Amino acid sequence: MPIDLDEALKAIAHPVRRDMLSWLKDPQRHFPDQEHPLEIGVCAGQFDQRTGLSQSTVSAHLATLQRACLVTSRRVGQWNFFKRNQAAIDELVRRLGEEL
């Protein structure tokens, strides 16, 4: 599925959202304290701690990244776990290189 370039660019036009994507490259390093296995993704609450932002702000940032297809999420019990959508990010960088 091709990404929506406008949506993806707006999503990454914020330093916190770029940080979040970057941390998801190496969850073991950036979220060593998570109790759930990192294989299922990084829990939203971990981002609250890492950013120092409120739960609702973090939630909004994650929703923006997810709408743009740059992360995928999985719900387990009461928690949402997030992973990078590497294919979409690669496509974004590739298309920018071509179209700009």
Q: Residues interacting with a copy of itself, by CB under 8 A?
A: 5-6, 9-10, 12-15, 18, 21-22, 89, 92-93, 96-97, 99-100
| Shortest distance (Å) from residue 52 CB to a copy of itself | 19
What is the four-CA torsion angle of 34, 15, 67, 63, rounded to 10 degrees? 50
DSSP codes, 69-86: TSEEEEEETTEEEEEE-H
Closer Cβ to a copy of itself, 22 or 55, answer by number? 22
Closer Cβ to a copy of itself, 43 or 89, answer by number? 89
